[in-house]
Structure formats: structure tokens, C-alpha cells
Structure 1
């Protein structure tokens, strides 16, 4: 899928087919692609004379990187929030003197909204350079990062609430949920840091594309915003570490409580067993019909033996109660 906009003074001409025109002096062209087709790649590389390999392979990139070719091309991995779910995509940027091409590896409504916002902004402001267009895109994208970080913070709070209630056994939380949040934050931090490096390279002139002074200053603001988001991600990683500590403490407390409960159960079972064993042993001995047992031939022998059994059992019961086994 392709969408393009040509900026002429404060006018914006839009299109969604391969009918764009090469910009003339004073004009700037912005092309946005989503998983470009072979036909689109062929036309773009033919019109703007650059190597098609980045457009063919950027979807497979696992991290942000810069291509050392002309025109200046770089890939950043970026996150977005759609339907309350965090998604990740690769964005390929190709910068030329009057043209900016951006290609996304995944379709998303978020970038459709970004393109519309860019179109509206240039209806009131004249495009000064390709850097000006790049700034507007990155500014919209970096603002989206705050939504992503906000969603992650809410997830951290939810997991933290579960971790604090786990000792009461009201809910369950898996350690995988906590570690998954930490991995996402590490991934975001790497993405933000890689993007700041690319912006720095553009500002010092490595892109070899003319950027007006105001756009260079604005790109500096975007750079500072990314640094702020790196700090936020670091703070959230600390929150996740704290949650993991709370979770570990809760699990340790549960293990201790379970051990105490098991110990209490064993004590009670031992007590009940001992209490039942005493009369059972005495009854078993007298049930052997041995003539010379004490009170075996006594006329009140039965009652005496029952009394002895009751007395010994009572002493054992009192002892167990005294020692808090029952």
C-alpha cells in the first residue's frame, strides 16, 4: 500500500497510487508505504535510483540500524498502541534532497492518523525541507511512545496489585508476566537509544541532506524527548524489579505459612494417633487371654482396666494440649 503527499507552499496534494511526481525546486514529496509490493519497489528504485535491498529486507530487521549508502537510509524499530494492545513495527526511512520515503513493516491505523496529522499541519505551515517533514513524522511517532509507556505502567500496576494480594491467596500472578514486562522495557530502551543516535547523525550532516536550521533545532527537541522516554523506561524497569521483589517476598511468606500449617497438621495427627494408640495397645494385650495378667481374674478387672486406659489417655491428652499440639 502506498500513500503520498506533495507539499507546494502551503498546499498539499495527496495520492494513493504510483502516480506521484518527482518534486521540483520548492516542492517536497513524502511517500508512506506499508509492506511495499514488488511493483512499488521497482518504480521507487527506478525513479529515485537507489538500491532496492533495504526495501526488500528491512521487515526482517530485529533492531534499529543505519545503512551506509546513498541516499541516507536507516531502520528503526518502533512501538505503537492500538486497541489497548502494544504492537511493534520496523520503519525504513529514505532521505533525499526533496523526498522522504517511509515504509512500515506492518499495517496500523496509528500511522494512518499520523499521516493525516502531517497533512493538516502542512496546510497551515510551509514545508521548509525534508528535515521539516521528518521532524513532523518523528514528533508524532515519539508522542505515541508516551501512550505505549503509559500502557506498560498500567500493566505494571496491575501486576503489582496482584503480587501484593497473592499472600492473601485472592489471586494468582505468574513470574513470566513480570519478566515479560521487563523484557518489553529493555526492548523499548534499546529502540529509543538507537533512534537518538540516528537523529544525532542527521543533525551533524551525515545524511548529506539539506536541513534548515529551525528543523535541526526541532529534531533536537525530538532527541531530548527520546532521552526523557529512556529515563521513563528506566524508572519503570525499577518498578518491575520492585514488583519482582514483592512477588518473591509474598511467595516466601506463603511457603512459610504453608510450612507452619503443615507442621500443625502433623502435630495434630501425631497427637490423635498417640491418644488412640494407648487404649488400643492395652486392649490388645488383654485380648491375648494370658492368665497371669494383672487384674485378669479380678471381678472388677474390666472396670479397672477401662479406668487405667481412660486415665493414661487423659494424661496424654492433657500433655498434648499443654504443649499446643491440640
Structure 2
């Protein structure tokens, strides 16, 4: 065995951007290795190198490209990190893009994960808001029999973890929407409610656009012909597809609830405006009576009816009060006041 392949403990985190870098044999960790030795280990029969990096630099991606022979287009996509979920095949290697999501400051923060999978290696590249895949690695290492299936099982485990993390986001939104929905039916909606409902609807649409394309990715992984994907893994990828469809159903259901709540807010606001308009119109009609009478008697004409009549003021005031009282009663009857 050459010196470069000697079994030794490495410090992957010493390389900026590298979260973990290990080699496995029959589902058990053999060693933590530096990036410079990853290619040699991946070419050893039965060995699988699993590397996780976070927001890597171009130099780090070039190192990974040199070790595993990654395609230039895949490297370019992994560096830009603004890709739609997809599956690309480059020779005997697969390149998978998935969108991640998590709640940060009451908003859905999105990130990306790019997965390179080929004979003897899996490289995960994380960008933006994304939960660490350390729990995935720990779960796989706790089940060496399953991990011994190789690269396709690691690919499945990461995709399954990404999809499972959509549900806490949906549950967080559900727990926030329900109190808002209840308050809308019992009290007047505020501008804050309307703004928040609009934000949640927009975030859910973005979550749907991030999750649903993974159905097509998993469908392709279920079909024969892709390198490195054994037929025994097809049910696992089918299970991920089922989870995504469930996520899609939950999103659609929640968007309907938000649409109902949003429309209820708007209709309630319009009803309140109509109520206020009616009250203002009713009071304007009532006040128009004394205004009109006072306006007539306020004109500076020399001859005014009942100008010198002793009971003129009393009669006019009584007439004004009577008419205003009758109008008030009528408006109350019609529920305008």
C-alpha cells in the first residue's frame, strides 16, 4: 500500500468548506481522509468515499473534480447554486440538485444541495439555509448493513432527509395560521394579519416549486439504466416520491386555507368600510335637516316668514328635532345606526 493510502486519521475540517470526509468499507467507517486522498480511496474495490462540503470555493470544487473526474458543467452548477431541482447524468456519474427549506425568523429560508454520485464516492455540496447532514451520516453509520449498499443508499438517505425536513416547515406555518384564522372570525382583521397571510402564501408557493420537481428526480432514479443505482433501491426512491407527494398535498391544502383566510380578511375589511360608510351617510342625512333649516333662516332677507312671531324659534326647533328623531329611528330600523 502506498503512503497516500495509509490508514490514518485526518482532519477534514482543516480544509475550508469541508464538513466531513470519510471512507467506508462494507458499511463501516474506515478512516477520515483528506481531500487529496479521496480519489485513491474511491478506486479501491468495495470502498465508498463520502464527502460533505458547505459553500465551497472554486478551488475546493476543482480539487474534488480532479479527484473524481467530475464534469465541468456540474462543477459550474455547484458553484453558482441557483439551480432548479434536477437529475443529470455525466457518463458514469450522477449529478442531483435539490432545494432545502427551513424556518428562520418566521420566514421560509431556502438553500440548495448538490449531490455528485459515482462509483466509489458521494459528494454533497450545501449552499444557503440547510440543516447539516451530520444526522444522516450518523444514522447511516448506525445501520452498516444498509450503508453497505453503497453510493445509491447514501444518495437516498440524503434525499429522504431533505424531503422529511419540509414537514417541520409546513407544521410551523400551520401552527401560525390556525390562530390567525380563528381571530379573523372573532375580531376585526388587522393590516398585520393581511400582510402576514400574503407572505405565507408566497413562501408556500416557493416551497411547492422547490419540492414538487423532486418527484421527477426520484421517478428517474426508480427507472433502470442509471449507473450505480441498484434495483433493490427502487422502492426506497419510490418511498421518497410518496413523501414528496404528501408534502405537495399538505402545501396545497394549506394554501387553500390561507386563500380562504386572506379573502375573509378582505371581505371583512370591505364589510367594515361599508358599515362605516352607512353610518356616516345616516348621520349626514340627519344633520342635513337642521343645516338646511338654519341656512334658510340665516339668509339676510328683509321679509322672512314668522320673523316677528313669538313662538317661531320653538316651532322651528320642535320641527327640526322631530324630523331628526324620525330619521334616526328609521335608520336604526334599517340597521344603519
Q: Do Structure 1 and Structure 2 share a fold, with TM-score over 0.5?
A: yes
**TM alignment of 1:100-119, pairs within 5 A:** 100-106=122-128, 108-119=130-141
Q: Which residue of 2 aligns with 1:36?
A: 56
Matched residue pairs, number?
A: 310
Deviations 1:133-154 (A, max 9, x none): 3233333333323323323433
Residue equivalent to 1:4: 21
CA deviation string 1:43-88 (max 9, x = no partner): 3323323323312323344312232421322232222436676433
Equivalent position to 1:127, from 148, 169, 173 = 148
Distance 1:159 1:318 in 2: 42
Structure having the higher Rg: 1
**Contact persistence 2:286–2:328 (CA under 8 A):** no
Which of 87, 90, 93 pairs up with 1:72? 93
Q: How do 1:299-318 residues align onto structure 2 when only pairs under 5 Å count?
A: 301-318=308-325
C-alpha contact (below 8 Å) 2:184/2:264 kept by paired residues: no
The Cα shift of 1:107 comes to 7.0
Query: What pairs up with 1:202-221 in 2 under 5 angstroms?
Result: 204-206=224-226, 208-209=227-228, 211=230, 214=232, 216=233, 219-221=234-236
User: Which residue number in structure 1 is paired with residue 9 of structure 2?
Assistant: none
Aligned to 1:92: 114
Contact 2:55 2:126 in 1 (8 A): yes
CA-based RMSD of the aligned residues comes to: 3.2
Aligned CA distance change for structure 1 residues 104 and 279 (closer, same or farther; 3 Å): closer
Structure 2 gap ranges (5+): 1-16
- Judge conservation of contact 1:163–1:243 (CA < 8 Å) in 2: no
2:33 is aligned with 1:18? no
1:183-233 superposed Cα distances (whole Å, 9 cap, x missing partner)? 1342144233233234224xx132x2263x54x2xx523422332332332
Q: Structure 1 residues 79, 242: CA separation in 2 closer, same or farther (over 3 Å shift)? A: same
1:81 corresponds to: 102
Matched, 1:273 2:272: no
Rounded to whole Å, the distance in 2 between the matches of 1:114 and 1:186 is 24
Runs of 4+ in 1 over 4 A off after TM superposition: 82-85, 168-171, 293-296
SS at match of 2:123: strand
Normalising by structure 2, we get a TM-score of 0.76
Gap regions ≥5 residues in structure 1? none
Cα separation, partners in 2 of 1:156 and 1:196, compared to 1, 3 Å: farther
- Kindly state the Cα deviation for residue 157 of structure 1 after the two structures are TM-superposed: 3.2
Matched, 1:147 2:168: yes
Could you say if the C-alpha distance between residues 121 and 294 of structure 1 is closer, same or farther in structure 2, counting changes exceeding 3 Å?
closer
Map of 1:180 onto structure 2? 202
Compared CA separation, residues 294 and 227, structure 1 to 2 (3 A): closer
Displacement of 1:274 after TM fit? 1.2
8 Å Cα contact 1:81-1:87 kept in structure 2: yes
